[in-house]
Amino acid sequence: MRNFVVAVRFVVLLSGLNLLAISAPFAEETEMDMDLMQTIESTNDNLSSNISLENAESAKADAQTLNELFAVVEEHYKKEVAAGNDVAEALDLTKKSIKCSSEIMTFLDQKDFESAANTATDLARTCKTCHNFYKED
């Protein structure tokens, strides 16, 4: 059983490292696309798993990646608002997502996995709320 847990942690760590490697190009882009949203969704799933496993290092890497990716989303919605589009709520939800991912990193530094998990749940709800209004089919 112990070997299984070690193997799972190793796989999760490798997944997190792969996501970090692909997140840099996204941070340079200013337009959102489905790949960006799918990366956010996948990273968010990994974050929850890593928090559940109490794997602080990998969870913190996931939270940092999310923070960077949400910054790209925030820039997109800032441009949309400046262009006169009615997406102010999406911008607010994105700012909330950035705040949640930052708080998660703080909780992980403190080894407060319960608070990190609760905040990760809030983050997932924030994403779902935004998708209910703005997700393209």
pLDDT in tens, 54-88: 999 999 999 999 999 999 999 999 999 999 999 99
Quote the pLDDT of residue 5: 55
The C-alpha atoms of residue 134 and residue 128 are separated, in whole angstroms, by 10
pLDDT of residue 39: 95
User: CA 55 to CA 39: how far, in whole Å?
Assistant: 20
Q: Which two tokens stand for residue 70?
A: 């949400």
pTM beyond cutoff 0.85: no
Tokens of 29: 């882009």
- pLDDT tens sequence across 12-39: 555 555 555 555 444 444 456 889 999 9
Distance CA 104, CA 109 (A): 9
Is a pLDDT exceeding 60 seen at residue 92?
Answer: yes
pLDDT at 133: 79
